[in-house]
Amino acid sequence: MVADSARWEGFPFRDGDVVISTPSKCGTTWTQMICALLVFQTPDFDLPLAEISPWLDMLTTDRDDLVAALEAQPHRRFIKTHTPLDGLPIDDRATYVCVGRDPRDAGFSWSNHRANLNTDAFLAARSKAVGLADLDGLLPDRRRELPPTEIARFWQWVDDPAPVSESPTSLAALVHHIRTFWPATAGAPNLVLLHYDDLQADLEGQMRHLAGRLGIDVPEPRWPQLVPAARFGEMRRRADHLVPNRGDDLWRDKTEFFHRGTSGQWRARLDSDDLHRYHRRIAELGDSEVAGWLHRNPAAD
Protein backbone atom coordinates (compact mmCIF):
# COMPACT_ATOMS: atom_id res chain seq x y z
CA MET A 1 0.00 0.00 0.00
CA VAL A 2 1.49 3.29 -1.16
CA ALA A 3 -1.08 5.68 0.30
CA ASP A 4 -3.94 5.75 2.79
CA SER A 5 -6.80 8.20 2.31
CA ALA A 6 -7.70 7.82 5.99
CA ARG A 7 -4.85 10.25 6.68
CA TRP A 8 -7.23 13.02 5.54
CA GLU A 9 -9.57 12.35 8.45
CA GLY A 10 -9.55 15.31 10.81
CA PHE A 11 -7.25 17.36 8.61
CA PRO A 12 -7.41 21.00 9.80
CA PHE A 13 -8.43 22.95 6.70
CA ARG A 14 -8.14 26.70 6.52
CA ASP A 15 -9.47 29.35 4.17
CA GLY A 16 -8.00 29.18 0.70
CA ASP A 17 -6.57 25.66 0.81
CA VAL A 18 -6.12 24.01 -2.57
CA VAL A 19 -6.38 20.24 -2.84
CA ILE A 20 -4.77 18.92 -6.02
CA SER A 21 -6.57 15.62 -6.56
CA THR A 22 -5.52 13.94 -9.78
CA PRO A 23 -5.31 10.41 -11.15
CA SER A 24 -1.74 9.19 -11.37
CA LYS A 25 0.25 10.35 -14.42
CA CYS A 26 -2.30 12.99 -15.39
CA GLY A 27 -0.25 16.08 -14.61
CA THR A 28 -0.07 16.09 -10.81
CA THR A 29 3.42 17.57 -10.47
CA TRP A 30 2.64 19.96 -13.33
CA THR A 31 -0.42 21.24 -11.46
CA GLN A 32 1.56 21.56 -8.24
CA MET A 33 4.15 23.62 -10.10
CA ILE A 34 1.49 25.87 -11.61
CA CYS A 35 -0.07 26.43 -8.19
CA ALA A 36 3.35 27.21 -6.72
CA LEU A 37 4.01 29.75 -9.45
CA LEU A 38 0.63 31.39 -8.90
CA VAL A 39 0.95 31.48 -5.12
CA PHE A 40 4.55 32.69 -4.92
CA GLN A 41 4.60 34.54 -8.28
CA THR A 42 8.21 33.58 -8.82
CA PRO A 43 9.85 30.42 -10.21
CA ASP A 44 12.36 30.41 -7.36
CA PHE A 45 11.19 28.50 -4.29
CA ASP A 46 12.94 28.23 -0.94
CA LEU A 47 12.12 24.51 -0.60
CA PRO A 48 11.70 21.56 -2.96
CA LEU A 49 8.23 21.42 -4.50
CA ALA A 50 7.28 18.20 -2.70
CA GLU A 51 7.96 19.82 0.67
CA ILE A 52 5.90 22.87 -0.20
CA SER A 53 3.09 20.73 -1.60
CA PRO A 54 3.27 17.36 0.14
CA TRP A 55 1.30 14.21 -0.67
CA LEU A 56 -0.74 13.88 2.51
CA ASP A 57 -1.83 10.28 1.88
CA MET A 58 1.57 8.82 1.05
CA LEU A 59 2.93 6.46 3.66
CA THR A 60 6.58 7.51 3.46
CA THR A 61 6.13 10.41 5.89
CA ASP A 62 4.79 10.47 9.44
CA ARG A 63 1.36 12.09 9.25
CA ASP A 64 1.76 14.19 12.40
CA ASP A 65 5.04 15.62 11.13
CA LEU A 66 3.52 16.38 7.76
CA VAL A 67 0.43 18.08 9.20
CA ALA A 68 2.63 20.11 11.55
CA ALA A 69 4.70 21.28 8.60
CA LEU A 70 1.54 22.30 6.73
CA GLU A 71 0.23 24.11 9.80
CA ALA A 72 3.46 26.10 9.94
CA GLN A 73 3.17 27.29 6.34
CA PRO A 74 2.34 31.01 6.28
CA HIS A 75 1.38 31.04 2.60
CA ARG A 76 -1.67 29.68 0.83
CA ARG A 77 -1.43 25.90 0.96
CA PHE A 78 -1.78 23.48 -1.96
CA ILE A 79 -1.72 19.81 -1.09
CA LYS A 80 -1.32 16.77 -3.32
CA THR A 81 -3.42 13.63 -3.32
CA HIS A 82 -4.33 10.84 -5.74
CA THR A 83 -7.53 10.11 -3.82
CA PRO A 84 -10.70 10.78 -5.83
CA LEU A 85 -13.23 13.24 -4.50
CA ASP A 86 -15.47 10.57 -2.98
CA GLY A 87 -12.62 9.60 -0.63
CA LEU A 88 -11.80 13.12 0.58
CA PRO A 89 -13.37 15.37 3.21
CA ILE A 90 -15.15 18.20 1.42
CA ASP A 91 -14.60 21.58 3.03
CA ASP A 92 -16.17 24.78 1.69
CA ARG A 93 -12.99 26.71 2.49
CA ALA A 94 -10.98 24.63 0.02
CA THR A 95 -10.84 24.42 -3.77
CA TYR A 96 -10.36 20.96 -5.29
CA VAL A 97 -8.44 20.81 -8.58
CA CYS A 98 -8.37 17.76 -10.86
CA VAL A 99 -6.70 17.12 -14.22
CA GLY A 100 -7.79 14.47 -16.70
CA ARG A 101 -5.73 13.02 -19.52
CA ASP A 102 -6.26 10.67 -22.44
CA PRO A 103 -6.00 7.32 -20.63
CA ARG A 104 -3.81 5.83 -23.34
CA ASP A 105 -1.16 8.48 -22.70
CA ALA A 106 -1.59 8.11 -18.94
CA GLY A 107 -1.20 4.34 -19.26
CA PHE A 108 2.09 4.56 -21.14
CA SER A 109 3.31 7.22 -18.73
CA TRP A 110 2.44 4.85 -15.87
CA SER A 111 4.34 2.06 -17.62
CA ASN A 112 7.49 4.19 -17.65
CA HIS A 113 6.85 5.37 -14.09
CA ARG A 114 6.71 1.78 -12.81
CA ALA A 115 9.96 0.93 -14.53
CA ASN A 116 11.63 3.99 -12.99
CA LEU A 117 10.40 3.32 -9.44
CA ASN A 118 12.81 1.71 -6.98
CA THR A 119 10.40 -0.49 -5.00
CA ASP A 120 12.98 -1.43 -2.39
CA ALA A 121 13.69 2.24 -1.68
CA PHE A 122 9.96 2.89 -1.36
CA LEU A 123 9.55 0.05 1.14
CA ALA A 124 12.54 1.32 3.12
CA ALA A 125 11.03 4.82 3.30
CA ARG A 126 7.63 3.40 4.26
CA SER A 127 9.16 1.20 6.93
CA LYS A 128 10.91 4.20 8.48
CA ALA A 129 7.80 6.38 8.43
CA VAL A 130 4.92 4.06 9.37
CA GLY A 131 6.32 0.54 9.42
CA LEU A 132 5.39 -2.51 7.36
CA ALA A 133 3.42 -4.48 9.94
CA ASP A 134 0.13 -3.92 8.11
CA LEU A 135 1.60 -5.66 5.07
CA ASP A 136 2.54 -8.86 6.91
CA GLY A 137 1.26 -11.78 4.89
CA LEU A 138 0.02 -9.44 2.14
CA LEU A 139 3.12 -8.03 0.53
CA PRO A 140 4.11 -11.14 -1.47
CA ASP A 141 0.61 -11.27 -2.99
CA ARG A 142 0.28 -7.55 -3.63
CA ARG A 143 3.68 -6.94 -5.15
CA ARG A 144 2.85 -8.02 -8.66
CA GLU A 145 5.76 -8.91 -10.87
CA LEU A 146 6.61 -5.99 -13.11
CA PRO A 147 6.11 -6.99 -16.75
CA PRO A 148 9.34 -6.59 -18.69
CA THR A 149 8.04 -4.51 -21.60
CA GLU A 150 6.34 -1.16 -21.94
CA ILE A 151 3.35 -2.59 -23.77
CA ALA A 152 2.88 -5.41 -21.27
CA ARG A 153 2.86 -2.92 -18.39
CA PHE A 154 0.33 -0.82 -20.32
CA TRP A 155 -2.07 -3.75 -20.72
CA GLN A 156 -1.66 -4.71 -17.07
CA TRP A 157 -2.82 -1.17 -16.22
CA VAL A 158 -5.72 -1.28 -18.71
CA ASP A 159 -7.02 -4.73 -17.79
CA ASP A 160 -6.58 -4.57 -14.03
CA PRO A 161 -9.84 -6.15 -12.74
CA ALA A 162 -9.43 -5.09 -9.11
CA PRO A 163 -11.91 -2.67 -7.53
CA VAL A 164 -10.66 0.91 -7.63
CA SER A 165 -10.53 0.93 -3.82
CA GLU A 166 -7.90 -1.80 -4.02
CA SER A 167 -6.06 -0.73 -7.15
CA PRO A 168 -5.99 3.08 -7.37
CA THR A 169 -3.63 3.08 -10.36
CA SER A 170 -5.54 1.54 -13.25
CA LEU A 171 -7.69 2.57 -16.19
CA ALA A 172 -10.82 1.92 -14.13
CA ALA A 173 -9.48 4.09 -11.31
CA LEU A 174 -8.70 6.96 -13.70
CA VAL A 175 -12.24 6.96 -15.15
CA HIS A 176 -13.76 6.73 -11.66
CA HIS A 177 -11.60 9.61 -10.41
CA ILE A 178 -12.80 11.93 -13.18
CA ARG A 179 -16.41 10.88 -12.58
CA THR A 180 -16.17 12.07 -8.97
CA PHE A 181 -15.22 15.53 -10.27
CA TRP A 182 -17.97 15.62 -12.88
CA PRO A 183 -20.05 18.22 -10.94
CA ALA A 184 -17.28 20.66 -11.93
CA THR A 185 -18.64 20.57 -15.49
CA ALA A 186 -21.93 21.95 -14.18
CA GLY A 187 -20.23 24.81 -12.35
CA ALA A 188 -19.66 23.47 -8.83
CA PRO A 189 -18.03 26.52 -7.19
CA ASN A 190 -15.11 24.88 -5.45
CA LEU A 191 -14.33 22.16 -8.03
CA VAL A 192 -11.98 22.72 -10.98
CA LEU A 193 -11.57 20.12 -13.73
CA LEU A 194 -8.81 20.71 -16.28
CA HIS A 195 -7.68 18.66 -19.27
CA TYR A 196 -4.04 17.83 -19.90
CA ASP A 197 -4.40 18.62 -23.61
CA ASP A 198 -5.62 22.14 -22.81
CA LEU A 199 -2.60 22.72 -20.60
CA GLN A 200 -0.38 21.67 -23.49
CA ALA A 201 -2.21 23.68 -26.11
CA ASP A 202 -2.58 26.91 -24.14
CA LEU A 203 -0.55 26.82 -20.95
CA GLU A 204 -0.77 30.54 -20.29
CA GLY A 205 -4.51 30.59 -20.88
CA GLN A 206 -5.03 27.67 -18.52
CA MET A 207 -2.78 29.22 -15.87
CA ARG A 208 -4.78 32.43 -16.10
CA HIS A 209 -8.00 30.44 -15.86
CA LEU A 210 -6.81 28.62 -12.75
CA ALA A 211 -5.61 31.87 -11.19
CA GLY A 212 -9.10 33.26 -11.70
CA ARG A 213 -10.76 30.22 -10.17
CA LEU A 214 -8.44 30.46 -7.16
CA GLY A 215 -8.92 34.21 -6.81
CA ILE A 216 -5.23 34.94 -7.31
CA ASP A 217 -4.32 38.25 -8.89
CA VAL A 218 -1.12 38.02 -10.93
CA PRO A 219 0.32 41.36 -12.09
CA GLU A 220 0.62 41.38 -15.87
CA PRO A 221 4.42 41.83 -15.93
CA ARG A 222 4.81 38.55 -13.98
CA TRP A 223 3.33 36.24 -16.61
CA PRO A 224 6.34 36.17 -18.98
CA GLN A 225 8.43 34.82 -16.11
CA LEU A 226 5.90 32.35 -14.69
CA VAL A 227 4.64 30.60 -17.81
CA PRO A 228 8.03 29.38 -19.13
CA ALA A 229 8.83 27.95 -15.69
CA ALA A 230 5.80 25.67 -16.00
CA ARG A 231 6.76 24.26 -19.38
CA PHE A 232 7.73 20.60 -19.49
CA GLY A 233 11.30 21.11 -20.67
CA GLU A 234 12.06 23.56 -17.89
CA MET A 235 10.53 21.29 -15.27
CA ARG A 236 12.58 18.39 -16.60
CA ARG A 237 15.71 20.53 -16.35
CA ARG A 238 14.89 21.22 -12.69
CA ALA A 239 13.90 17.62 -11.95
CA ASP A 240 16.09 17.30 -8.87
CA HIS A 241 14.16 20.14 -7.19
CA LEU A 242 10.70 19.17 -8.44
CA VAL A 243 10.33 15.37 -8.27
CA PRO A 244 8.28 13.84 -5.44
CA ASN A 245 10.15 12.11 -2.61
CA ARG A 246 13.48 13.41 -3.88
CA GLY A 247 15.21 12.47 -0.61
CA ASP A 248 14.01 8.86 -0.54
CA ASP A 249 15.84 7.71 -3.69
CA LEU A 250 12.59 6.36 -5.12
CA TRP A 251 13.54 7.15 -8.70
CA ARG A 252 16.22 5.33 -10.64
CA ASP A 253 16.53 8.51 -12.72
CA LYS A 254 14.97 11.76 -11.45
CA THR A 255 15.00 13.31 -14.91
CA GLU A 256 13.14 10.30 -16.27
CA PHE A 257 10.27 11.11 -13.90
CA PHE A 258 9.49 13.79 -16.50
CA HIS A 259 9.58 11.22 -19.30
CA ARG A 260 7.73 12.72 -22.27
CA GLY A 261 4.83 14.88 -21.12
CA THR A 262 3.23 14.66 -24.55
CA SER A 263 -0.22 13.84 -25.85
CA GLY A 264 -0.82 11.23 -28.52
CA GLN A 265 2.26 9.14 -27.72
CA TRP A 266 0.01 6.07 -27.83
CA ARG A 267 -0.45 6.45 -31.60
CA ALA A 268 3.02 5.03 -32.27
CA ARG A 269 2.45 2.14 -29.87
CA LEU A 270 -1.08 0.83 -30.47
CA ASP A 271 -2.23 -0.72 -33.74
CA SER A 272 -5.84 -1.15 -34.84
CA ASP A 273 -6.25 -4.45 -32.98
CA ASP A 274 -4.85 -2.86 -29.83
CA LEU A 275 -7.30 0.03 -30.14
CA HIS A 276 -10.24 -2.35 -30.50
CA ARG A 277 -9.09 -4.16 -27.38
CA TYR A 278 -8.67 -0.88 -25.52
CA HIS A 279 -12.10 0.44 -26.49
CA ARG A 280 -13.73 -2.83 -25.45
CA ARG A 281 -12.26 -2.31 -22.01
CA ILE A 282 -13.43 1.30 -21.96
CA ALA A 283 -16.95 0.14 -22.86
CA GLU A 284 -16.87 -2.39 -20.02
CA LEU A 285 -16.35 0.46 -17.57
CA GLY A 286 -19.70 1.89 -18.62
CA ASP A 287 -18.98 5.61 -18.46
CA SER A 288 -19.14 6.89 -22.03
CA GLU A 289 -19.63 10.50 -20.91
CA VAL A 290 -16.35 10.65 -19.00
CA ALA A 291 -14.55 8.56 -21.62
CA GLY A 292 -15.63 10.95 -24.37
CA TRP A 293 -14.32 13.93 -22.43
CA LEU A 294 -11.01 12.20 -21.69
CA HIS A 295 -10.45 11.16 -25.31
CA ARG A 296 -11.63 14.48 -26.72
CA ASN A 297 -12.03 13.14 -30.26
CA PRO A 298 -12.48 9.35 -30.18
CA ALA A 299 -13.85 9.32 -33.73
CA ALA A 300 -10.39 10.24 -34.99
CA ASP A 301 -8.71 7.23 -33.35
82 is catalytic: yes
Q: How far is CA 260 from CA 27, 109, 196, 264, in A?
A: 12, 8, 13, 11
Residue type present at position 266: W
Set 75, 82, 195, 241: catalytic member: 82
Q: How deeply is 229 buried, as exposed, middle or buried, from its count of CB atoms within 10 A (0-12, 13-18, 19+)?
A: middle
Collect all residues with Cβ–Cβ distance below 8 Å to 223 and sequence separation of at least 6.
204, 207, 208
Q: Cβ–Cβ contacts within 10 Å for residue 277, how many?
A: 15
Q: How far is CA 133 from CA 167, 236, 246, in A?
A: 20, 36, 25
Per the CB < 8 A criterion, the answer to whether 56 and 145 are in contact is no
Beta strands in 9-162 (DSSP E): 18-21, 78-81, 95-100
**Which 8-state DSSP code applies to residue 145?**
P
Q: Cβ–Cβ contacts within 10 Å for residue 90, how many?
A: 12
Q: Give the span between the Cα atoms of 27 and 198, in whole angstroms.
A: 12
Active site residues: 82
